[in-house]
Amino acid sequence: MMIIATPRLNLRCWKETDRDVFAAMHADPDVMHDYGGPISRTESNAKLDRYALAYYRHGFCRWAVESQEGVFLGYTGIMPSRPDHPLGSHAEIGWRLVRQAWGYGYATEAARAALKDVFTRVRPTEVLAYTAPDNLRSQAVMARLELQRDPTRDFTANYFGVKSWHGLVWVARP
C-alpha cells in the first residue's frame, strides 16, 4: 500500500475500515457547508469507492489523510475530472478535513505532498483547483500552495445539487 509521508501526516490508499470515519466527516454540516450540506452514507460510500478505484485506474487519487499517530483527518489528492465537466478532461486537486483538523495547516501540507507526488510519478502538465467565490478557506490553501489564479477558466455548472454553481479556477504546474 502506497504511503506519502510528510513531517506530520500520512497520505495513504483507502481501507475498508475507513468507511465509518469517512461517513461521519460527510455527515458534519460545517465540513460539508461548501458542498450544500451533509451527504448520505450511501453517497459517502460511493465517493470512497470512486477515490479508491482512481488509484488503481490512474495511479493517483484522493488519499486518506491521517496523523502520524493514525488518526483520520480527512482527504486530499488529485482526481481525473468527470467526463461531462465544463472544462473538459483534466486533473483536479481537492481536500476536505474533519472539523477538528481545521486551522493547523494540514490541508496545505497534505495537498503540497499530493501535488509533488503526482508531478513526480504521473507527470501531468498541470492540475486544476476550483472552489466557490465564498469558500475563503480553500482559496487561502490555494494561495499558500502558490497556485496561479486563471479567471479565463472560471465556469458555471450544476454542482453539489446547486444550480449554477460558480467555480473559480487556479492552476498548479510542475
Catalogue all structural domains in the chain, each as residue range(s) with its CATH number: 3-125 (3.40.630.30)
Q: Per residue in 47-66, pLDDT tens?
A: 999 999 999 999 999 999 99
40 burial (CB, 10 Å; 0-12 / 13-18 / 19+) is: exposed
Q: Per residue in 72-129, pLDDT tens?
A: 999 999 999 988 899 999 999 999 999 999 999 999 999 999 999 999 999 999 999 9
What's the confidence (pLDDT) of residue 83?
Answer: 86
Contact 156, 164 (CB under 8 A): yes
Beta strands in the chain (DSSP E): 3-5, 9-12, 62-67, 72-80, 91-97, 127-131, 148-149, 155-159, 162-172
Ramachandran sector of residue 105 (left: φ over 0; alpha: ψ -120 to 50; beta: rest)? left
Could you tell me which of 119, 172, 118, 132 has the C-alpha nearest to residue 148? 172
pTM: 0.93
pLDDT band of 162, cuts 50, 70, 90: low
